[in-house]
Amino acid sequence: MKKLSLYTLIGLLFCNVGFAECVEGDCINGQGTYTFASGEKYVGEWKDDQLNGQGTLILASGDKYIGEFKDNKYHGQGTATLTSGDKYVGEFKDDKKHGQGTYKFASGEKYVGEWKDNKSHGQGTLTFASGEKYVGEFKDNKKNGQGTLTFAGGDKYVGEFKDNKKYGQGTYTFANGDKYVGEWKDDNFIK
């Protein structure tokens, strides 16, 4: 999964506070618009001189985040739209995707499910542009645990995965009805 460049830039934005300014409203405790020397702009709620509440952050690159902030970090519900065409809609915690969310890639892939520390982690569905689809458990951006992988041609594997590979007990059913049932290791049927 791709990392959002928005996260790392938030900290950099506040390094330039000497060259930035509040151009409208109350940028300490209230609603205000703040522009940064680097070209970024924030419009939203402030508390104790920090981004807190609802707001919109537009980066010089054109990437945009609309959602909740807490202590200058993405925190709560939000939408991150990247100029690459990628888009994430869901929960954030301390500047990271965390909780339930949907990430749509410009390539046509889409992940819907649980996130932890910016990685797909927990139950989710990954749909590939090719038509292949995985529904099951993820750990650290990889298929890990129980899941079902359905191929565009009609073949299907139901069973265990480890590090994105068929590993453990599982059943591979071909589109023609033939089956392999048993033990798998590193994507290969062993018995």
Query: Beta-carbon neighbour count of residue 154 at 10 Å?
Result: 10
pLDDT bracket for residue 145 (50, 70, 90)? very high
Q: pLDDT digits over 13-71, tens only?
A: 444 444 689 999 999 999 999 998 889 999 999 999 999 999 999 999 999 999 999 99
Contact status, residue 3 vs residue 9, Cβ threshold 8 Å: no
> Does residue 164 surpass a pLDDT of 50?
yes
| Domain limits, the chain | 1-98
CB hemisphere CA count around 34 (13 angstroms): 27
Q: pLDDT digits over 79-131, tens only?
A: 999 999 999 999 999 999 999 999 999 999 999 999 999 999 999 999 999 99
Which overall architecture, per CATH, does domain 1-98 show?
Single Sheet (2.20)
